[in-house]
Amino acid sequence: MFISDDLQQRWWALEAKLVERFGKKPDLEAVLFLIGLQETGFMAEKITKEEKQDLMHVAVCRVLSQSGYYVLEGNDPDHWPHYKQVKELPVMIAMEQENFIKDHVLLYFEQQGF
């Protein structure tokens, strides 16, 4: 499955806004990392690989919660959100998964007014 023209155009528009804001074109992982930082408020001088993975996991759960795949259970004592999967994700090949996530990321930014 190829990325639809509409999805591609919207993704390029988001990339352009992020380049304007940060001076560098982000890939999907970087965008998820930014969402994770936004959702957790996590701040650290140095971020470990594990923390980066955790932030990206929070981001994926957050963006997919918009379609009912995850629900926020609450925050732990360190204020990190914890999600519970409540709906099975569709089976997709890698490119379809990436487009599925991108579409949800775009919705997230739209809802955030970005």
Give residue-wise pLDDT tens across range 1-31.
456 789 999 999 999 999 999 999 999 999 9
Q: Where are the domains of the chain?
A: 5-111
Q: How many CB atoms lie within 10 A of CB 58?
A: 23
- Please provide the DSSP assignment of 74-104 as one string: EE-TT--EEEEE-SPPPP--HHHHHHHHHHH
The pTM assigned to this predicted structure is 0.89
Give residue-wise pLDDT tens across range 44-63.
889 999 999 999 999 999 99
Residue 69 is given by DSSP the state S
